[in-house]
Amino acid sequence: MRHLIDFDQMSLSEWDSLYRLAEDIMNRPAAYQDSCRGKLVATLFYEPSTRTQFSFQAAAMRLGAQVIGFSGAGGSSVAKGENLKDTIRTVAGYVDAIVMRHPSEGAALAASLASEVPVVNAGDGGHLHPTQTLTDLTTLMKERGTLEGLTVGICGDLKNGRTVHSLLKALVRFPNNRFVLISTANLRIPAYVREVLEAAGAPFEEVTDLAAVMDRLDVLYMTRIQRERFESEEAYKKEAGIYVLDKRKLDLGKRDLLVLHPLPKVDEITHEADADPRCRYFEQARYGMFIRMALLHTLMLQGRAAPAEAGGEVGGSCRNPRCITATEDWLDARRIGDRCLYCEKELAL
Ligand code: NCD
């Protein structure tokens, strides 16, 4: 693995090694505190972030590396109209790894085509968020001891929640998991994620009532309604506040239920429910730092190499206004089957 654009670039044995490294870091942090001394990481956050940005920065510093970057591109040359390719080529010349969050779908893949150093996707619009998935899998391993045979409920904004997309794509690779997808009709999982579930033959159901399924779940992954991805405030308000995990619903859950959330949460978990020991999302956030340490440690020691080759075939025309190809004119339109290589939405052929 050279870049981390989504979890599927990683073989399960690479995941295993990464997880073992994270555990070793948790057990023996002092052994790693200088392991990346002299290395430099850039964190380019074009969109707001607390956990992802800080956990990467903390991860780099705890390995002895240093960090440069921006939070909001307003203070960088992006505000002067610089394209992503030029920003990435420049920054890649200075650092040993780039961690990027960007509002456009497919932006991380595009960045990897311009970068001589590893690129980590820290969220590309409403598309993917693989390092949150690494965090989620680490939490499941630490708190449940397995990634197999779980009934996983995922509730909230399944359409726009990138953490949901990456998590589902990852969990279908482990045997005997079942999925209960809890959302309103408007916020169901997108077609490309549904196809992955179907292709894997993973049992999944789409339901609207959270309380009705609580007693069956081993894991409940709550998510925020992604206000910033809606066309209008009005459209957001129609979906907001529908799913709230409160004490009454939690009381219906198994005694060893695990409640996770990528955070930030808004109003989808009450303060009373928050106090339940089955809610493990702050532990989850902390595990995220350790698995990101393992990731940076693995990627940064690789050195420089020619930028990635674009995959797929040239052709098609992406109609998705949020796709990175809509704004970066140096990118060839590319497809895999009838889907855009970058954002995975259906193409006009
Ligand atoms: C998530 C994200 O940015 O997609 N947050 C995170 O990285 N922990 C979830 C969210 O914003 O709702």
pLDDT at 215: 98
Same domain, 66 and 143: no
Distance, in Å, from the CA atom of 249 to the CA atom of 274, rounded to the nearest integer, reads 12
Question: Model confidence over 137-160: pLDDT tens digits?
Answer: 999 999 999 999 999 999 999 999
Domain count, the chain: 2
Q: What's 208's domain CATH number?
A: 3.40.50.1370
206: left (phi over 0), alpha (psi -120 to 50) or beta: beta
Residue 277 tokens, joined: 């020991």
Question: Model confidence over 102-125: pLDDT tens digits?
Answer: 999 999 999 999 999 999 999 999
pTM listed for this prediction? 0.96
Mutate to test the pocket of ligand 1, among 47, 52, 71, 226 (most ligand atoms within 8 A of CB): 52
Domain-located, residue 98: yes
Domain-located, residue 314: no
CB atoms within 10 A of CB 75: 9
**Helix extents (H) in the chain:** 12-27, 51-62, 84-92, 107-112, 130-144, 162-171, 191-200, 210-213, 233-239, 247-252, 271-274, 281-300
Domain-located, residue 118: yes
Question: Model confidence over 272-287: pLDDT tens digits?
Answer: 999 999 999 999 999 9
Mutate to test the pocket of ligand 1, among 56, 99, 131, 163 (most ligand atoms within 8 A of CB): 163
Report yes or no: 19 and 294 within 8 Å, Cβ to Cβ.
yes
Q: Please tell me which residue, 301 or 248, carries the higher pLDDT value.
A: 248
pLDDT at 276: 97
Kindly state the average pLDDT of the residues 128-132.
Answer: 97
Kindly state the average pLDDT of the residues 222-241.
Answer: 96
In three-state secondary structure terms, 87 is helix
Distance, in Å, from the CA atom of 85 to the CA atom of 307, rounded to the nearest integer, reads 11
pLDDT at 285: 97
Q: What is the band of 73 on the pLDDT scale with cuts at 50, 70, 90?
A: confident
Same domain, 103 and 153: no
**Helix extents (H) in 41-190:** 51-62, 84-92, 107-112, 130-144, 162-171
Placement of tokens 């240093």 in the chain: 66
Residues having CB closer than 6 A to ligand 1 are 51-52, 123, 129, 132, 162-163, 224, 226, 262-263
Same domain, 121 and 134: no
- Give the contacts of 20 (CB within 8 A, at least 6 positions apart): none
Compute the mean pLDDT over every residue in the chain, rounded to the nearest whole number.
96
| Counts of helices then strands in the chain (DSSP H, E) | 12, 14
pLDDT at 349: 64
Kindly state the average pLDDT of the residues 94-105.
Answer: 97
What string of DSSP letters covers 125-157? TTTB-HHHHHHHHHHHHHHHS-SSS-EEEEES-
Q: What is the band of 74 on the pLDDT scale with cuts at 50, 70, 90?
A: confident
Residue 159 tokens, joined: 């359409």
- Which domain range does residue 252 map to? 130-277
Same domain, 71 and 145: no
Same domain, 71 and 137: no
Percent above pLDDT 70 for the chain:
100
Same domain, 170 and 40: no
Q: Which atom of ligand 1 is nearest to the CA of 263?
A: 8
pLDDT at 145: 97
At residue 331, what is the residue type? L
Instruction: Among 193-207, 208-222, 236-250, 302-316, name the one with the lowest average pLDDT.
Output: 302-316
Same domain, 93 and 66: yes
pLDDT at 348: 76
pLDDT at 78: 82
Same domain, 115 and 177: no
Same domain, 90 and 153: no
First-to-last C-alpha distance (Å) of the chain? 32
Same domain, 210 and 90: no
Q: Which atom of ligand 1 is nearest to the CA of 52?
A: 7
Q: What is the DSSP letter of 319?
A: -
Question: Model confidence over 170-202: pLDDT tens digits?
Answer: 999 999 999 999 999 999 999 999 999 999 999
Q: Which atom of ligand 1 is nearest to the CA of 157?
A: 12
Query: What is the DSSP pairing of strand 258-260 with strand 40-45?
Result: unpaired
pLDDT at 160: 97
Query: What is the DSSP pairing of strand 151-155 with strand 219-222?
Result: parallel
Same domain, 169 and 223: yes
Q: Is the dihedral of CA 25, 31, 33, 34 positive or negative?
A: negative
Placement of tokens 């979906």 in the chain: 239
Same domain, 43 and 115: yes
